[in-house]
């Protein structure tokens, strides 16, 4: 039996979340302690998911037990022929599968994600078979994935389905570690080293304990964000899809974070003293 005061706090907490105005067109927030839906907005509507796809690519790759220390090369066929997006990974670069996975997840690089599916044990066909099997195993009946990068608008899902993918991905220590790293350096073509950064600007932000993260963007999908967070001893999964501006998803995430217990640090104002002239 809940004490009256605690019950009032819980009702206020859940009510505040449910009443929140979101920029994201599709969203869901789950309290991981009890599976309670704290916030929901068009969570069962099927929409493109952009680079959130790469979490599935990572899980399927790791399930295959491929040699993560083996070198793979980035080839011409790994270039984005659909949207002609840019990449900081030159054609002809060689790196380990582990490094390629790092760039695909942390900095959302499309060429490395394409190379991982191309060099999947058994080839591209085997990769797609494994993806379909994984979707079935996770009960993601409203999700379709056609390719490894998320560039195709035919890669679609619902916010509710993506909760299943997020929570499954969090059980892979490699994925959790990579997606919550702020930056890393990788040696590319001609032995040149380049620093790559996480696409999630909340990584490393004071007060945010992020357990798993992935961003995404295409014109069709809008700005997307997946996170598992621990704030004020509360673990939650948040899925934000189809915000029409990149800044809008961060506004949504910050507002949700505040209601989950995040306290934004307020910088003290500096008092400027003017000299008196005589």
Sign of the CA dihedral 38, 44, 47, 52?
Answer: positive
pTM for the full model? 0.88
Any residues with CB less than 8 A from the CB of 65 and at least 6 apart, and which?
none
Per-residue pLDDT of the chain (278 residues; tens, 9 = 90+): 444 443 333 444 554 565 578 999 999 999 999 999 999 999 999 999 999 999 999 999 999 999 999 999 999 999 998 888 888 899 999 999 999 999 999 999 999 999 999 999 999 999 999 999 999 999 999 999 999 999 999 999 999 999 999 999 999 999 999 999 998 888 887 777 888 999 999 999 999 999 999 999 999 999 999 999 999 888 999 999 999 888 999 999 999 999 898 877 655 444 444 444 43
pLDDT of residue 265: 62
Neighbours of 52 (CB within 10 A): 25
The H or E element spanning position 48 is strand 47-48
Query: What is the set of active-site residues?
Result: 51, 54, 108
Largest Cα–Cα separation, the chain: 84
Token pair listed for 263:
């306290």
Query: What are the domain boundaries of the chain?
Result: 23-260
Tally of CB atoms within 10 A around 8: 11
pLDDT value at position 17? Answer: 60
Task: Spell 231-256 as b/e; 16+ CB within 10 A means b.
Answer: beeebbbbbbbbbeeeebbbebbebb
Which of the following CATH numbers is that of domain 23-260: 3.40.190.10, 3.30.230.10, 3.40.710.10, 3.40.50.2000? 3.40.710.10
């Amino acid at each position: 039996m809940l004490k009256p005061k605690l019950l009032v706090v819980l009702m206020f907490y859940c009510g505040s979340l449910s009443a929140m105005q979101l920029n994201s067109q599709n969203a869901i927030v789950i309290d991981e302690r009890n599976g309670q839906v704290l916030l929901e907005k068009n969570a069962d509507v099927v929409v493109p998911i952009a680079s959130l796809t790469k979490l599935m690519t990572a899980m399927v790759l790791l399930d295959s037990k491929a040699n993560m220390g083996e070198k793979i090369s980035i080839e011409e066929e790994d270039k984005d022929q659909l949207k002609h997006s840019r990449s900081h990974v030159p054609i002809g670069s060689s790196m380990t599968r582990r490094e390629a996975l790092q760039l695909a997840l942390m900095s959302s690089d499309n060429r490395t994600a394409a190379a991982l599916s191309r060099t999947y044990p058994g080839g591209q066909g085997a990769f797609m078979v494994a993806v379909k099997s994984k979707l079935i195993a996770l009960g993601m009946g409203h999700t379709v994935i056609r390719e490894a990068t998320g560039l195709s608008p035919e890669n679609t899902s619902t916010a509710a389905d993506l909760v299943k993918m997020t929570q499954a991905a969090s059980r892979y220590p490699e994925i959790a570690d990579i997606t919550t790293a702020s930056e890393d350096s990788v040696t590319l073509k001609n032995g040149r080293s380049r620093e790559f950064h996480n696409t999630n600007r909340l990584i490393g932000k004071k007060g945010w304990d992020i357990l798993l993260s992935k961003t995404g963007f295409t014109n069709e999908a809008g700005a997307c964000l997946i996170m598992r967070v621990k704030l004020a001893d509360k673990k939650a999964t948040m899925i934000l899809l189809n915000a029409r501006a990149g800044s809008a998803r961060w506004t949504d995430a910050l507002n949700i974070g505040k209601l989950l217990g995040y306290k934004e640090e307020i910088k003290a104002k500096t008092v400027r003293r003017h000299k008196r002239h005589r």
